[in-house]
Structure 1
Amino acid sequence: MKLRRNTKTKRIRKNKRILGQSIEERPAEVEQRQEFGHWEIDTVVGKKDKKDEVLLTLTERKTREELIFRADGKNSQAINTIIKQLRHKYGIPFHQIFKTITSDNGSEFAELSLSVQDEKTTVYFTHPYCSSERGTNERHNGLIRRFIPKGKAISSVSDVTITYAENWCNSLPRRILGYKTPGECFQEELSRLAS
């Protein structure tokens, strides 16, 4: 009996697409959550349909404040539109509120660095298939799933439901915050910036 030799070798793949700075270059103080203004960003997909809308979620690492926006699709244009809306909403102190943003390597975040470049906001990208590097945001996305289950089209979800989910996440007392809510902690940080 003749046996074949195993001639296949394991190939180590490198990420072909380098979107920006790696999470390895992120300062240590971001990891320790001692400083306000460091965010994690992701998209929540309802129905796996390219034409369906998605939710863009941003989570502030220190206060656990959650921002949820409806995006027209899972593409960089839709994400950049929302970032422009955020820049307009927060105005001049945008770079103080959004010092860093950490995202995954999704194609929808391909132009994220360019959209915040003039605002002194640094964007870091996690390693591929390593969602634990944005753990706070992934945890909040799980909380959002209580209101918007997988498989449900985002376009069929009302704005009231999205706002309710955001308010619920931000008014949930957290032990890690000394039983304060993320909303309270976020407002405290904003008032410190204003003074």
Structure 2
Amino acid sequence: MLLRCLPFPAQLVKTITCDRGAEFANWRRMEERLHCEVYFTDPYCAWQKGNIENLNGLLREFYPRGRNLSRVAPATLKRDLALLNARPRKVLNFHSAQD
């Protein structure tokens, strides 16, 4: 799913840090296709990657817990990702990821 939703060239991805959710079970495939390294946080240490938890909360505004994302059209996911990337973030000094 991640590979289909990238809004930028895959060669720009250097690393991916994620939690240990089932959605990353194919992490080796991501490394091969994106030519990057995938890192994982330690179990039950979500604070190691606070941005993941923050993004999960933001994603829940679009997709409630339990929603099957494989049934969401790729165009819809891309649109929602663009909306999230346009959102000002405190960690970016209230700029958006697109700025």
Q: TM-score, normalised by structure 1?
A: 0.39
**Residue 90, structure 1, aligned to residue 14, structure 2:** no
Any residues of structure 2 matched to 1:65-80 within 5 Å, and which? 71=1
Aligned to 1:144: 59
Aligned to 2:18: 103
**Residue 133, structure 1, aligned to residue 52, structure 2:** no
CA contact (8 A) 2:16 2:37 kept: yes
CA–CA separation in structure 2 for the residues paired with 1:177 and 1:130: 23
CA–CA separation in structure 2 for the residues paired with 1:116 and 1:136: 21
Q: Deviations over 1:168-191 (max 9, x none)?
A: 21111223323321112xxxxxxx
**Structure 1 or 2: more helix by fraction:** 2
Q: What is the aligned residue count?
A: 97
Give the superposition deviation at 1:161: 4.5
Q: Rg: which structure is higher?
A: 1
2:84 to 164, 169, 181: 169
**Unaligned runs of at least 5 residues, structure 2:** none
Secondary structure, counterpart of 1:182 in structure 2: coil
**Structure 1 or 2: more strand by fraction:** 1
**Unaligned runs of at least 5 residues, structure 1:** 1-70, 72-78, 185-195
CA–CA separation in structure 2 for the residues paired with 1:153 and 1:108: 11
Aligned to 2:37: 122
CA–CA separation in structure 2 for the residues paired with 1:156 and 1:110: 19
1:104–1:183 Cα change, 3 Å: same
Any residues of structure 2 matched to 1:152-191 within 5 Å, and which? 152-154=67-69, 157=72, 159=74, 161-184=76-99
Give the share of equivalent positions with the same residue, in percent.
34
- Deviation beyond 6 Å, 4+ runs, structure 1: none
Amino acid at match of 2:18: S
**Residue 112, structure 1, aligned to residue 27, structure 2:** yes
Give the superposition deviation at 1:140: 1.1
Task: Judge which range, 163-172 or 133-142, deviates more.
Answer: 163-172
Q: TM-score, normalised by structure 2?
A: 0.66
Give the superposition deviation at 1:167: 2.0
CA–CA separation in structure 2 for the residues paired with 1:172 and 1:115: 26
Secondary structure, counterpart of 2:50 in structure 1: helix
Secondary structure, counterpart of 2:39 in structure 1: strand
CA–CA separation in structure 2 for the residues paired with 1:156 and 1:129: 29
CA RMSD of aligned residues (A): 3.2
